[in-house]
């Protein structure tokens, strides 16, 4: 009951038709294809709505199910029948802000080249936790460097490598606590910058903007000490 991930093929797709494959025991909806991104990698699940003749249902969030299924979590009780055709409409404004923030956090990991111990993406604020025994340097300089990368309007694209190739290149994995998903034979990488002038390349299953200029200006938020050598660095979208 695998769901086709339309959001991966085109993260800018806001609407699509799909067929209802199943209802979960918890009252979720599984479609054969979806524009909704499921919670994962620090990125929240998408929200929006689905429509069908005579019915309309808000989608509160989206999560991963069993055996490759993606489950839409409804905000109401009336579900479309299994086998019926529905139209999905993504809460695009919220998703696009997640895309902007997610790409900005990848750039933050470039500006602060330390192992990442955690992270969270929000529509207005995001953060990365770093293995950082010593205090962060000049925050204003960090913010300026981050915005400088954004202003370069770098291309953002995906690449795929085998699991064996990833094992041979462990430096690509920046996260200490979360390993890239395995078992499918290939691992998706998100690349920032052209191949001949690479800025960042790391495993990621999330949605991103097509160019860094789309992120817009960001500001550095709080830098908080979280444990003996762990520090949390937050960034905010300015518009």
Q: Give the residue from 69, 90, 111 where a domain finishes.
A: 90
CA angle, 187 as apex, 205 and 230 as ends, to 5°? 60
pLDDT at 183: 59
Number of structural domains (the chain) is 2
Q: pTM to 2 decimals?
A: 0.94
Q: pLDDT digit string (tens) for 45-103?
A: 999 999 999 999 999 999 999 989 999 999 988 999 999 999 999 999 999 999 999 99
Q: Are residues 76 and 154 in the same domain?
A: no
| CA–CA separation, 197 and 153 (whole Å) | 13
Q: Are residues 115 and 43 in the same domain?
A: no
For the chain, the helix, strand and coil percentages under 3-state DSSP, each to the nearest 5: 25, 40, 40
Q: Give the residue from 50, 68, 90 where a domain finishes.
A: 90
Indicate the average pLDDT of the chain: 94
Q: Give the residue from 90, 116, 143 where a domain finishes.
A: 90
Q: pLDDT digit string (tens) for 159-204?
A: 999 888 888 888 888 886 666 766 577 899 999 999 999 999 999 9
Q: Are residues 81 and 112 in the same domain?
A: no
Q: pLDDT digit string (tens) for 1-18?
A: 799 999 999 999 999 999
Q: Are residues 134 and 223 in the same domain?
A: yes
Q: Are residues 157 and 186 in the same domain?
A: yes
pLDDT at 173: 86
pLDDT at 28: 97
Residue 31 has pLDDT above 70, yes or no: yes
Give me the CATH number covering residue 38. Answer: 2.40.30.130
Range of the domain at 166: 95-237
CA proximity to 222, closest of 212, 232, 214: 232
pLDDT at 182: 62
- Encoding tokens for residue 128? 């990365």
Q: Give SS3 for 2.
A: coil
Q: Are residues 233 and 124 in the same domain?
A: yes
């Amino acid at each position: 009951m695998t769901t086709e991930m339309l959001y991966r093929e085109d993260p800018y797709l806001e609407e699509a038709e799909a067929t209802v494959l199943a209802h979960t025991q918890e009252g979720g909806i599984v479609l054969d294809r979806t524009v909704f991104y499921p919670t994962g990698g620090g990125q929240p699940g998408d929200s929006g709505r689905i429509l069908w003749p005579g019915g309309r249902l808000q989608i509160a969030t989206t999560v991963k199910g069993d055996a490759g299924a993606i489950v839409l979590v409804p905000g109401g009780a009336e579900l479309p029948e299994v086998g019926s055709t529905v139209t999905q409409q993504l809460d695009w404004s919220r998703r696009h802000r997640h895309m902007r923030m997610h790409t900005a956090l990848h750039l933050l990991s470039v500006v602060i080249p330390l192992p990442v111990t955690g992270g969270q993406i929000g529509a207005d604020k995001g953060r990365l936790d770093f293995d950082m025994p010593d205090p962060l340097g000049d925050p204003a300089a960090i913010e300026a460097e981050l915005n400088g990368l954004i202003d370069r309007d770098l291309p953002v694209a995906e690449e795929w490598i085998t699991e064996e190739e990833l094992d041979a290149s462990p430096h690509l994995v920046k996260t200490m606590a979360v390993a890239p998903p395995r078992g499918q034979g290939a691992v998706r990488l998100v690349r920032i910058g052209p191949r001949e002038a690479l800025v960042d390349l790391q495993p990621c299953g999330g949605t991103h903007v097509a160019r860094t200029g789309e992120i817009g200006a960001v500001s550095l938020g709080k830098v908080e000490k979280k444990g003996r050598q762990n520090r949390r660095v937050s960034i905010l979208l300015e518009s």
